[in-house]
Structure 1
Amino acid sequence: EELTEILKPYIYKQEGKRVFIKPKIVVEVLYDEMQKSPKYSSKYALRFPRMIRLRPDRSPDEIDTLDRVKQLYEKQHGM
């Protein structure tokens, strides 16, 4: 409930269970594995993702880019 209250001011659209949030808050995410997925525009999906913590010390300009995601994927798969 606490996280919901933090995120409410940043919601700009809802479609069923999907909630779209303005890129104003940075969160740290842990996951078990990264895999390629044609389902998403990024072409990657995280298996079993979970939010670890909010990162108020970081701005959205500092988040990992798709290039960084690709590097992490390749490292994970020994490429």
Structure 2
Amino acid sequence: MFLRSGKSTDGWALIGFGVFACIFSAIGLSGGFGLAPGGRAGTLIFLGIPLGIAAIIAGVLSLNRDGRRPEN
């Protein structure tokens, strides 16, 4: 439904996840969720920005690769 002929939406999904991870982490680091939580939530907050940046870069590279792929 969302696919164009010969193209995928993986790049856009990675970019969306990266933006979400960065925003979630920024809110958590600024104290939006109260004191810094421990456990999995704390790990996600501290690793959100590097993980988000990596996902955004991977998404842009995926879009670039799809852009150079010849049409069928």
Higher RCO (CA 8 Å, separation ≥ 6 residues): 2
Max Rg structure: 2
TM beyond 0.5: no
Structure 2-normalised TM-score? 0.28
Larger helix fraction of residues: 2
